[in-house]
Amino acid sequence: MLKSARLVICSSVLLGASLVALPQASFADRALVQSSVNVAATVDGLLGFTATNHEIDTGVTTYDSSTNTYSGTFSLMGSTNQFGITTYEVICNYLSSTTYAGDCSNGWTVSAVSTNVSGGYATMNPSDPNNNFKIKSDATNALSGTSANWLMKIVPISKTVSGSTFAPTATALGYSDFNNVPATDTNVVSGNTFRTISGDSTYIGAESFKVQYGFTAGMDAVAGTYSGEVTYTLHVNTN
């Protein structure tokens, strides 16, 4: 915006019989030029789901990053409740339902399912084709029991933002403690990267949780090598 200067003129004035010419005076405000600049930045949306850390039961199990595999050797009745612990991170910063990812302020859910299933149970299958024994995931059998078993649980990780503490939630299906590895695609943990802080919906950044596996060889396992696999999928909740 450009503002024009004002000019004020004082004309001569007669004083008595004499003509006195008062000096002409002019007054001008300082000219001011204002300029506005618009600054625009675009932040890309990101829907991310990654494994950020792997923990083992030191001296009992190992982790191979090249194959993403936890492994261990057990005698009969050998067991561990920390066969492997994987930390997962969820990032979801969309706030517009026009994006393919949906509106992240409705929260997210992660489901899990075993690759191998037999008789309605997730299984660890033998590498020897002549071995018909499979290790079923059955939460009715304790990890300290005599039946070979493998189980999993969810461990939410808390974070504090602006004085408020938030954490993902293990689903009501019992994954806050060791439970069956799902034989069908099952929601196991949920969260929300947009939380209400001081009455406003606020993006709090990434949320994280751990999946912890337990294993026991029991007294009934046939000698051999067994393997299981679990697939996790991130879902953005709908309205």
pLDDT digits (tens, 9 = 90+) for 176-198: 999 999 999 999 999 999 999 99
Q: What is the DSSP letter of 97?
A: T
Cα 162 to chain centroid distance, Å, stands at 18
- Sorting pLDDT into bands at 50, 70 and 90, what band is 233? very high
Rounded to 5°, angle at Cα 14 from 11 and 17:
160
For 51-80, write each residue's pLDDT tens digit: 999 999 999 999 999 999 999 999 999 999
Q: CA 3 to CA 28: how far, in whole Å?
A: 12
Contact yes or no for 28/5 (Cβ under 8 A): yes
Closest CA to 189 of 143, 230, 157, 142: 157
pLDDT at position 26: 57
Cα 28 to chain centroid distance, Å, stands at 62
